[in-house]
Amino acid sequence: MNRQFKEYPTDARNADIAKLCKKLQDDIDRWRKQQLECWPKLQHFVINQKVIEPENESLYLPSDFQSPVERTDFGLEEAGLLEMQLREGEANDALEAIRLAIKQLALDVQYKKKEVTGQKDSTRAHDELKRKCAARNKYVIKYRQAFRAMIRLGMVEGQTPHKELKDSDLRIKGMTGAGELGEGTKEESWIWSAMFDPSLPVSQRTEWENEFDRVRWFRAKANKDRWEEEIDILEEEFQRTKRSFARMEQVWKALAHVCDDTAEGWGKRAYAHQQVGMYQLLNKRAHGDFLKTKSHKPIPALAGFVAV
């Protein structure tokens, strides 16, 4: 029934759509009047535009003209600066909504895995997840539109906190006690640290958001402590291995000195010196590997987190 309803809207639904289209067209007409009063040079574009649906009509904002020369010719320089500020705010709002939606989805997925059983409840939970994914994707589209507009207005990517939002960025780490295989080598998505204002009052954040971030922070800290402990253990194992190789080198050197000058003794002495060389080489390799591991910087476990 749901599929049929989506593919074949009812008469009432069609009437609602027509009403919304009429309202949108009225808003565009009012905008056209103000637009042509401020920028009469755009009249040529407005008159020659052939669009049937109002939702597909171009508004001819400054971001619709990628060339700075065109914006200058049409007198859109100041409007371009104003649109850049508005687009930046739009991108920030969309990004905040995306972060909130990802948190909600992560909690719902975790709850579904642990608590939901049975076909009926699983289907209902799956439909709810699809609905929330669709809501998240609306904000993703809004951010990408704002980002593309800022690029056309002259924003240089890499010089601002805003970045291209990829599907791989729509994730969050640290939702389960034990991370998935390979998760420790992955860095946190940039969306969790971009434009974060540490001076934001706690009262402006919901209680469950604070609890969510607090749990993630302590899980990340626990992982960090375990990794540091593993590093200490491995370093000590390296040192014990080196001491073991050095000790065996001394043992075989001592055995080489006690061999007599008979043919059999010369053979034993040659074998002892061979063992000495082997343990010297092993000790040298172990020392080199130890220096390599010391030169590697560990991945920051708490990147993107704020202590709450």
17-29 residue pLDDT tens: 889 989 998 998 8
Distance in angstroms (rounded) separating the CA atoms of residues 67 and 152: 8
Task: State pTM to two decimals.
Answer: 0.62
Across 2-11, 28-37, 170-179, 223-232, the highest mean pLDDT is recorded for 28-37
State the chain's maximal CA–CA distance in angstroms.
Answer: 113
Residue 261 has pLDDT above 90, yes or no: no
Kindly tell me the burial class for residue 305, based on how many C-beta atoms sit within 10 Å of its own C-beta (0-12, 13-18, 19 or more).
Answer: buried
pLDDT of residue 3: 40
pLDDT of residue 235: 87
Half-sphere exposure of 110 (CA within 13 A, CB side): 14
pLDDT of residue 308: 37
The share of the chain scoring above pLDDT 70, in percent, equals 82
Contact 191, 99 (CB under 8 A): yes
Mean of the pLDDT values across residues 206-234?
A: 77
DSSP 64: G
pLDDT of residue 160: 78
pLDDT of residue 115: 83
Instruction: Take residue 104 and report the two structure tokens written for it.
Output: 């909600």
Q: What count of residues does the chain have?
A: 308
What pLDDT band is residue 306 in, cutting at 50, 70 and 90? very low
What pLDDT band is residue 244 in, cutting at 50, 70 and 90? very high
Q: Round to the nearest angstrom and report the end-to-end CA distance of the chain.
A: 47
Which is higher by pLDDT, 3 or 204? 204
Mean of the pLDDT values across residues 267-295?
A: 87
Mean of the pLDDT values across residues 238-255?
A: 91
Count of H helices and E strands in the chain?
8, 0
Which is higher by pLDDT, 52 or 202? 52
Half-sphere exposure of 194 (CA within 13 A, CB side): 22
Mean confidence (pLDDT) of the chain: 81
pLDDT of residue 111: 81
pLDDT tens across 156-199, in order?
877 778 889 998 888 877 655 555 555 656 677 888 777 555 45
Contact 109, 133 (CB under 8 A): no
